[in-house]
Amino acid sequence: MNVSFLRNTKLILFVLVVVGLVMRLIPIRYGLPLQLNIDEPSLVSAVFSLKSGLNPGRFDWPHLYFYINFLFYGLFYWIFKIVGLATENDSYYFMISRGLSAVFGVATIPVVYLITKELFGGFRKPILAAVILTILPVHVYESFFAKLDVAHTFFISLAVLFMAKLMNKASMKNYILSGLFIGLSVSVKYNAFLLALPFIIAHYYSFPNWRYLLKPRNILKPIVAALVSIVAFFVGTPFAILDFKTFWSYEPRVGALWQFTNVGNIEWTEYAESAYETFITMYRGDLGIVIWVVFILMLISYLFFCRRDRRLNFLLLPVIIISFYISKLERSPAHYFVFLSVLYVPALSDFIISAIDRFRSFKFSPVILKVVSIFLVGLILIPSIYSSIKSVYLYSQIDTRLEAYNWVQENIIPTKRFIYVAGNELTSVIFEEKESLRVKRVDVDVIDKELPVYLILGYNFLTLDALKASNWDIDNVGGSSEDLLPQSEMVKYIDNQNRPGPPIIIFKISDLTNPNAK
């Protein structure tokens, strides 16, 4: 291996990390000071709780990532004080946690390169794997937010790397490091216990045949890895021992066991539909349309056309089994699957490059083969690149709910008039704490405060044109909006074109006696 090769590889990885970091950091101020993502406040509030003691008092999530965030909160707290920024501004801490997500996200890129290098060797497959993860829509999107999933994926990538290494070299060091990072992954998020499956596969393939597995020293290795994993978990979440009673309980939003019941299970009659949603709808959105097609072709080839070996068994068998397992849960949002990317991305890279190599075996001009190869890779990547760039752009724009919030603060709050709020999409927005009420019906009967009052509507399906076309009748919402809205004055309409958030319509209600008013 020559020096120039190393320099080129490092340069490519450096560029990918920089590009990936920029993409993931551009939306860092999204929605602030509002807290529009349901999971972000849970993380930030848990980290803030550490100021009064290192035991968060809740084990619905393990604690390692809380402590990592807390260290950075402390560091930036002193930086804020030195430069004169307001240390009590919550938005800064949301941005710190979002920044950590972005950093852990791009830190996963070189690890995926190393996983692919360990399993498949060469230059093109590892580099392509790194490129795919850099622009993978679901990974880019999840890196915007102050959540656990991207950091969780980083620790899992390290565990997968050392599992790949032990599959090639069954040294005690690789077993220990595999166990260490499995334990730390579980200490970020409990579902990393599913790494037991690829670990078992890696252990099985680390020896020539099953007789070697039964030798005492080889039986000892996975036992040591398991013990190291347990110790690593408790190091990351020490109060799981010190406060074991709380940890090992079903107490809602507190006990660890509650987390496993909270996700629920669907009926078997609904399972086929859920699996379809996972592999067809969800993965298509997560990967981008062409990479998703390649993903499906890869799985079909693996399952039905015997394109499998120990490396693909290690990578794809867990992806398939775990995806079906998560699909059985009542709650199975896309971010539950993010950690699987460190398994299927190396396999995707191998599948793509192997397919191109078959094409290159035809007797065409080398120049033509090279051009066509580049064209094919571009064809596969461009839709995902577009999807990720679109996501970056959208979440760098002002959310409709933030614009509505700012407008209300400037135009309604000073008047001290009462505000009615309708629409599930506005649940996370507190326009005014005391002089406001959330209503499920849009009806004259709900207006029981002194006029004038304001009504804020925020539904994903409700645009101004649709509302007018329906003669002011809001479908699927209780009440008789067609009686109320014509008597109201529309004072603000906020369109959601090319930005996140629902369309928002704000009405001023001054008179309930004139049914012909507009």
Helix extents (H) in 26-123:
40-49, 64-83, 90-120
pLDDT (tens digit per residue) in 143-196: 999 999 999 999 999 999 999 999 999 999 999 999 999 999 999 999 999 999
Looking at residue 517, its pLDDT comes to 42
Partner residues linked to 455 by β-bridges: 420, 507
Partner residues linked to 438 by β-bridges: 421
pLDDT (tens digit per residue) in 300-327: 999 998 778 999 999 999 999 999 999 9
Would the pLDDT of 83 be above 70?
yes
Angle between helix axes 310-327 and 90-120 (nearest 10 degrees) is 140
CA distance 499 to 399: 6
Q: How confident is the model at residue 103 (pLDDT cuts 50, 70, 90)?
A: very high
Q: What's the mean per-residue pLDDT of the chain?
A: 92
Residues 113, 161 contacting (CB under 8 angstroms): no
Looking at residue 516, its pLDDT comes to 46
> Of the candidates 254, 257, 278, which has an alpha carbon nearest to the alpha carbon of residue 266?
278
Partner residues linked to 437 by β-bridges: 420
CA distance 45 to 442: 34
3-state helix, strand, coil in the chain (%, to 5): 65, 5, 30
Looking at residue 53, its pLDDT comes to 92
Looking at residue 222, its pLDDT comes to 95
Would the pLDDT of 514 be above 70?
no
Residue 410 burial class via C-beta count within 10 angstroms: exposed 0-12, middle 13-18, buried 19 and up: exposed
What is the arithmetic mean of pLDDT over 96-104? Answer: 98
**Global pTM value:** 0.93
Would the pLDDT of 7 be above 80?
no
Would the pLDDT of 4 be above 60?
no
Looking at residue 314, its pLDDT comes to 97
> Of the candidates 167, 222, 156, which has an alpha carbon nearest to the alpha carbon of residue 193?
156
Looking at residue 15, its pLDDT comes to 96
Residue, of 260 and 383, whose pLDDT is higher? 383
CA distance 262 to 61: 12
Residue, of 209 and 429, whose pLDDT is higher? 429
> Of the candidates 314, 407, 274, 343, which has an alpha carbon nearest to the alpha carbon of residue 129?
343
Can you read off the two tokens belonging to residue 203? 């252990």
What is the arithmetic mean of pLDDT over 434-450? Answer: 88
Q: How confident is the model at residue 207 (pLDDT cuts 50, 70, 90)?
A: confident
Residue, of 488 and 344, whose pLDDT is higher? 344
* Residues 6 or more apart in contact with residue 56 via CB below 8 angstroms: 46, 49, 50, 63, 66, 239
Residues 485, 507 contacting (CB under 8 angstroms): yes
Can you read off the two tokens belonging to residue 374? 């580049």
Q: How confident is the model at residue 491 (pLDDT cuts 50, 70, 90)?
A: very high
What is the arithmetic mean of pLDDT over 33-59? Answer: 93
pLDDT (tens digit per residue) in 265-302: 889 889 999 999 999 999 999 999 999 999 999 999 99
Q: How confident is the model at residue 1 (pLDDT cuts 50, 70, 90)?
A: very low
Cis peptide before 27 (omega within 30 of 0): no
What is the arithmetic mean of pLDDT over 339-363? Answer: 90
Partner residues linked to 508 by β-bridges: 454, 489
Would the pLDDT of 242 be above 60?
yes
CA distance 286 to 337: 9
Looking at residue 289, its pLDDT comes to 96
Residues 512, 451 contacting (CB under 8 angstroms): yes
pLDDT (tens digit per residue) in 108-121: 999 999 999 999 99
Q: How confident is the model at residue 332 (pLDDT cuts 50, 70, 90)?
A: confident
CB-based burial, 291-329: b 16+ in 10 Å, e otherwise: bbebbeebbebbeeeeeeeebbbbbbbbbeebbeebbbb
Q: What is the number of helices (H) and of strands (E) in the chain?
A: 23, 5
Residues 505, 467 contacting (CB under 8 angstroms): yes
User: What letter represents residue 515's amino acid?
Assistant: P
pLDDT (tens digit per residue) in 121-138: 999 999 999 999 999 999
Can you read off the two tokens belonging to residue 384? 């995902």
pLDDT (tens digit per residue) in 363-407: 777 777 788 888 899 999 999 999 999 999 999 999 999 999 999
CB count in 10 Å sphere of residue 88: 9
Share of the chain above pLDDT 90, in %: 74
Return the minimum-mean-pLDDT range out of 31-35, 85-89, 276-280.
85-89
Can you read off the two tokens belonging to residue 228? 């190291």
Would the pLDDT of 518 be above 50?
no
Can you read off the two tokens belonging to residue 503? 């369309």
Looking at residue 474, its pLDDT comes to 81
What is the arithmetic mean of pLDDT over 232-237? Answer: 97
Beta strands across the sheet bearing 436-438:
436-438, 419-422, 453-458, 504-509, 489-494
Long-range CB pairs of 251-257 (<8 Å, 24+ gap) are 253/58, 253/60, 254/57, 254/58, 254/59, 254/60, 255/59, 255/60, 256/59, 256/60, 256/62, 256/190
What is the arithmetic mean of pLDDT over 34-63? Answer: 93
CA distance 154 to 202: 19
What is the arithmetic mean of pLDDT over 451-460? Answer: 93
